[in-house]
Amino acid sequence: MRRFLTHYEAFFRHPDVPRLLAMALVMRMPVGMMSLAMLMHLRELSGSFAFAGGMVGTYLVAMAASAPVQGRVID
């Protein structure tokens, strides 16, 4: 196990890696926060976690289905 972790230690010693990982974490936070915000807002409007969860699930399925198209457009 220790030998496995030495690879990560060497990786994190590179000067730019911690900063880039922190930036990547911050850049990905809005995706999760959007789903949670939608869930809380829809639950407040409808009074039902089941309805809110279904709507957020539908949103995420639509995002997943449109991701390949979006990727082609960006490339």
* Domain range list for the chain: 2-74
Q: Is the pLDDT of residue 29 over 90?
A: no
Q: Assign 1 a pLDDT band (cuts: 50, 70, 90).
A: low
pLDDT of residue 3 exceeding 90: no
Residue 59 to residue 39: CA distance in whole angstroms = 11
pLDDT in tens, 54-75: 999 999 999 999 999 999 998 8
pTM of the model: 0.62
| Contact of 12 with 18, CB cutoff 8 Å | yes
Tell me the CA distances in angstroms from 15 to 12, 20, 23, 63, 65, one per residue in order.
Answer: 8, 10, 14, 35, 38
Confidence of residue 43 (pLDDT cuts 50, 70, 90): very high
